[in-house]
Amino acid sequence: MAWRIEKRSASFARSPAWVFPVSLAMAVAVGAGIFAALGVNPLTAYGVMLKGAAGSFFHVSEVVVRAIPLMLTGLAVALAATMLLWNIGCEGQLVWGGILAAGTGLYLAPHLPPFLVLPAVVAAGAVGGALWGLIPGLLKAYLAVNEILSSLLLNYIAIIVMEHLYFGPWRNPEGYGFPGTAQIAEAARIPHYFGTRIHLGLVLALVLAMVLYGALRLTRWGYRVRAIGLNPRAARYAGFGIRSQIVGVMLLSGALAGLAGMAEVSGIHYRLQQGLAVGYGYDGIIVAWLARLNPLAVPFVALLLGFLIVGGEQLQSVLHLPASISVVLEAVLLFGLLLSESLARYRLVRRETGRAVPAAGEEGA
Amino acid sequence: MTISPPPALALQDISKRFGEVHANRGVNWTLRAGRIYALLGENGAGKSTLMSILAGRYQPDQGDILRQGRPVRFLSPAQALAAGIGMVYQRFMLVAPLTVAENILLRRGPIHLRGTREIRRIRELAERYGLAVNPRATVGTLSMGERQRVEILKLLYRRAKILIFDEPTAVLTHAEIENLFTVFRQLKNEGKTVVFITHKLEEVMAVADEIAVMRRGRMVSQLAAADVRSRHDLARLMVGREVILSVDKPPVAVGESVLQVRGLTGPGESPRPTFRDIAFDVRQGEILAITGVAGNGQEDLAAALAGLVRLTGGTLRFQERTFTAAQWRRRPSDRIAYIPEDRHRTGSVDAFSLVENFMLTRLDVFGTSLLVDRRRAAQATAEAVARFGIQGGGLRSQAGHLSGGNLQKLILARELSRRPALLIAEQPTQGLDIRATEDIWQALLRQRATAAVLLITGDLKEALSLADRIAVMFRGRILDIVSARDDGDIDRIKLLMAGLEDR
């Protein structure tokens, strides 16, 4: 009993560099165990995933396509979390981005000069998400409503509104009863590259990651965001307007998620339909945490998750394993990270040995 | 062997250090059953540390604890409680959404699994000791006095023989204090030992059998309450006659009034606001100290003047401009610098670098409306580091790695660089070593040349060394403002701090 576990005194110490590789290794190991339990040779399974997600240029491009919305929602969550705000509402903000982008593409585009259509669609996506993010922001800032709950619950409302639109007023009259709007105008579709489905969203996400990184470090606004996140008491002492800061950050966070919805509608589906709300908003939380809130790391983590998603689909089609295996791997990765991060806060120390005196008298009084 | 039974508890040569600070040094103390002990001492005298050692929260570096003559060693409060020693902390350790009975039985599993036998026992205990409280009431709905009774019941339920109270009257109303003392006497009659920490002399005289006085970690005096001739003796014992560090205090021409407050009243849910009817003037070239025992409203007053706590009444005149309490929100905050008491949690961001911390209250200066100017901030920080001799890492290292003294110098340098007309310094040297203390003191004295200084301190020595006038606060009011130059007044300040108005 000469050793004991002690909490490291410096809570502000950065977590060590080994945390990410270790959690990745844990995820791979646990995944191997699951494959073995399902009766599949883990090496075969990982081989299928690798081949399916990285086997050809087309496969890689599909990984990128999946990663684009994850990058944007990951940035959205990371920005809010830098200020200790938990934006669990990216899914709803994404949906609203999609709704306004689709609406613009469907109903506004014919009335706009051609060169304005695309900017209008992109802006509409950002505005849709921003407005949906504004609601929990205002509630938090002025009524102290927990943003985790409010932003989460607003997701369901957003999805119902979207369904109402494509089942009802916005339904494609020539759609033979399929739920979904008509296709948006050609001019309202964002450009694609390399003959793949990779679209403008990638450029947006990468540029925004760099802008966000720079803004957090170089601007007064970014300084305030970081100060509030690290020590709200000190920020209050310094006289930062915490309320307006909350509202502003939730607006921006919502806008980022809204752009993800816009890119999905305008770059992939070309319409509002089932399949827009597939959980990119929630996966953004995982992306942000795996990236440890660093905007520059977000695109890479998003690619990793995109790889898992595409690879998981391959497992289903080739080995007939449930595709949800990729969700399990995601989860293990996140748990591994959280576990390693909390373990990193402790260290093993030798217990100082005082004089051995029997513990308290048990007099049973 | 003597015939008398061994004492309920004996402390022998107890010492405890926290880093450089000796909280307890060679403390000897004997506690007997059926007696009420008052433990007196200034802030930082080591009372709370000593009590925490008794209650098993800390372990002594050196020395022995004898429980009924047998050596014991407590690794946790649970072990101390098993040996019959329990403590009621100043901040109650209760779970607000649970009922009284659930709180009392907390460590013994969910109450709904247990019968009404436990409730009956709680009721019996409550009746026997005069601790009126309904076991089924939710703790969150109870007054402070009632919560304290729950804490006492918690200890009695676990058959504590020695009950320790850390400033038990601080949160109570007058009637509740009377009640508590009745409970103390009842505990004594039942053969229990009561120990309570207090700063208030009239309480000592009212209820204690034995008095122990600590100063600077040592037990300096133990006497029977019956032997105390006057409260003045007690006040003197408590504060001591320490040599005041001689500070070179060059005279400075006193200028115009910078801040004038009248009838200032602060927030407060309890029967009284945390401070009320505060009136004082402070002029350029002078230091006005506001002193008092911790918890008498001076903390909130400082925060309210700095704009962090809401004022509910009164007027302020700052540099020719008059403000009502509500208008103080729009005070010219760039002219007022505030050095908060908690330098780690309020005054700085420990994960930020020295440079980033230097920008904290000066963002408007270091940068354009959009960007932060790190180069200029780094330059200013480097100058401050050189001028104040701040040691412990480069400009880019995290402020959390600095020692308390160096961090305080950084904060002070930052606030002084704003060239304020009013400097509010709250406990600026608390926990600092002598060298850092002197550096901070010199800086405050220098600041008189350009500003009015309001020094909020619980350290009388600091107030006497620096201030021109000393305002003494007690229970939210300024009892009097006395000149710091007049030696005859020092005794009076001590009495005022203990709440004795002798006029």
Tens of pLDDT, residues B124-140:
999 999 888 888 888 88
**Residue of B53, B328, B349, B365 best to disrupt the A interface, most CBs of A under 10 A:** B349
For residues B396 and A19, what is the distance between their CA atoms, to the nearest angstrom? 24
CB contact under 8 A, B361 and A239: yes
Among A220, A226, A360, the residue with its CB nearest the CB of B82 is A360
Residue A212: count other Cβ atoms within 10 Å of its Cβ. Answer: 22
pLDDT at position B236 over 80: no
DSSP B31: E
Place of tokens 């506001």: B290
Average pLDDT over residues B29-35: 93
**Residue of A219, A231, A353 best to disrupt the B interface, most CBs of B under 10 A:** A231
For residues B18 and B475, what is the distance between their CA atoms, to the nearest angstrom? 31
CB contact under 8 A, A224 and B83: no
Mean pLDDT is lowest, of A209-223, A291-305, B173-187, B442-456, for B173-187
Residue B495: the pLDDT is 80
CA A207 to chain centre: 17
End-to-end CA distance of chain B: 53
Residues with Cβ within 8 Å of residue B285, at least 6 apart in sequence? B252, B253, B254, B255, B448, B449, B452
B287-291 and B452-457 strand pairing:
parallel
Residues with Cβ within 8 Å of residue B122, at least 6 apart in sequence? B100, B101, B104, B135, B153, B157
B90 HSE (CA, 13 A, CB side): 13
- B37, B31, B8: which is closest to A365 by C-alpha? B8
A43 band by pLDDT with thresholds 50, 70 and 90: very high
- Cβ(A363)–Cβ(B161) under 8 Å? no
Residues with Cβ within 8 Å of residue A129, at least 6 apart in sequence? A76, A93, A94, A96, A97, A254, A255, A256, A257, A258, A259, A260, A261
Work out the minimum CA distance from B373 to partner chain A, whole angstroms. Answer: 8
Mean pLDDT is lowest, of B82-91, B170-179, B343-352, for B170-179
Three-state DSSP class for residue B214 = strand
Residue B128: count other Cβ atoms within 10 Å of its Cβ. Answer: 11
Residue A22: the pLDDT is 82
B230 HSE (CA, 13 A, CB side): 6
Question: Which residue in A has a C-alpha nearest to residue B357's C-alpha?
Answer: A227
Residue A362: the pLDDT is 34
| pLDDT above 70: percentage of residues in chain B | 93
Give the type of residue at A224: R
**Residue B241 token pair:** 């006659």
pLDDT at position B391 over 90: no
Average pLDDT over residues B405-419: 92
| Residue A227 in contact with partner chain B when CB distance is under 8 A | yes
Residue B112: the pLDDT is 57
Helix, strand and coil percent figures for chain B, each rounded to 5:
35, 25, 40
DSSP labels, B426-483: ESTTTT--HHHHHHHHHHHHHHTTTSEEEEEES-HHHHHHH-SEEEEEETTEEEEEEE
- Cβ(B424)–Cβ(B309) under 8 Å? no
**Residue B413 token pair:** 């340098």
Residue A224: the pLDDT is 95
Average pLDDT, chain A: 87
Residue A358: the pLDDT is 38
Considering only CB atoms, which chain A residues are within 8 Å of B338? Answer: 237
The interface pTM score, or ipTM, of the predicted complex is 0.82
The partner residues of B290 in beta bridges, in order of sequence, read B456, B471
Residue A348: the pLDDT is 62
CB contact under 8 A, B363 and A220: yes
- How far is residue B133 from each of residues A164, A168, A174, A228, B144, measured CA to CA in Å? 56, 61, 74, 42, 12
Residue spans of alpha helices (H) in B33-116: 47-54, 77-82, 100-104
The sheet with strand B477-483 has its strands ordered as B336-339, B422-426, B452-457, B287-291, B469-474, B477-483
- B334, B341, B330: which is closest to B362 by C-alpha? B334
Average pLDDT over residues A323-332: 82
- Cα dihedral value B232, B234, B235, B239, nearest 10: 140
Output A109 or B240, whichever has higher pLDDT: A109
B30 HSE (CA, 13 A, CB side): 8
CB contact under 8 A, B82 and A223: no
Say if pTM beats, i.e. exceeds, 0.80: no
Which residues numbered 97-156 in A keep a CB inside 8 Å of some CB on B?
Answer: none
Average pLDDT over residues B444-458: 92
Considering only CB atoms, which chain A residues are within 8 Å of B75? Answer: 359
A344 HSE (CA, 13 A, CB side): 18
CA B297 to chain centre: 11
| Residue A363 in contact with partner chain B when CB distance is under 8 A | yes
- Cβ(A329)–Cβ(A312) under 8 Å? yes
Average pLDDT over residues A44-67: 92
| Residue B360 in contact with partner chain A when CB distance is under 8 A | yes
**Residue of A223, A236, A293, A345 best to disrupt the B interface, most CBs of B under 10 A:** A223
Residue A12: the pLDDT is 41
- E strand or H helix at A258: helix A242-264
B111 band by pLDDT with thresholds 50, 70 and 90: low
- A29, A8, A118: which is closest to A336 by C-alpha? A29
- Cα dihedral value B252, B254, B260, B264, nearest 10: 40
- Cβ(B409)–Cβ(B383) under 8 Å? no
**Residue A7 token pair:** 């909490």
Residue A202: the pLDDT is 96
- Number of Cβ pairs closer than 8 Å across A and B? 98
**Residue A275 token pair:** 């399949």
pLDDT at position B210 over 60: yes
| Residue B68 in contact with partner chain A when CB distance is under 8 A | yes
For residues A259 and A242, what is the distance between their CA atoms, to the nearest angstrom? 26
DSSP E strands in B245-392: the ranges are 257-265, 278-283, 287-291, 313-318, 321-324, 336-339
Place of tokens 């880019």: B396
For residues B148 and B177, what is the distance between their CA atoms, to the nearest angstrom? 11
Place of tokens 């816009």: A262
Question: Which residue in B has a C-alpha nearest to residue A361's C-alpha?
Answer: B83
| Residue B72 in contact with partner chain A when CB distance is under 8 A | yes
Place of tokens 């009590």: B51
- Cβ(B447)–Cβ(B416) under 8 Å? yes
DSSP A189: S
CB contact under 8 A, A365 and B73: no
Residue A94: count other Cβ atoms within 10 Å of its Cβ. Answer: 38
**Residue B239 token pair:** 């504060």
- Cβ(A128)–Cβ(A100) under 8 Å? yes
Average pLDDT over residues B203-230: 88
**Residue of B59, B161, B336, B372 best to disrupt the A interface, most CBs of A under 10 A:** B372
For residues A225 and A216, what is the distance between their CA atoms, to the nearest angstrom? 7
For residues B381 and B373, what is the distance between their CA atoms, to the nearest angstrom? 12
Three-state DSSP class for residue B49 = helix
pLDDT at position A27 over 90: no
Among B72, B346, B359, the residue with its CB nearest the CB of A361 is B72
B228 band by pLDDT with thresholds 50, 70 and 90: confident
Give the type of residue at B253: A
pLDDT at position B245 over 80: no
| Residue A2 in contact with partner chain B when CB distance is under 8 A | no
pLDDT at position B410 over 90: yes
Residue B416: the pLDDT is 93
Place of tokens 């540099």: B319
Considering only CB atoms, which chain A residues are within 8 Å of B346? Answer: 233-234, 237
CB contact under 8 A, B367 and A220: yes
Average pLDDT over residues B79-90: 91
B43 band by pLDDT with thresholds 50, 70 and 90: low
Interior angle at CA B227, CA B221 and CA B228, nearest 5: 75
Average pLDDT, chain B: 86
- Cβ(B500)–Cβ(B235) under 8 Å? yes
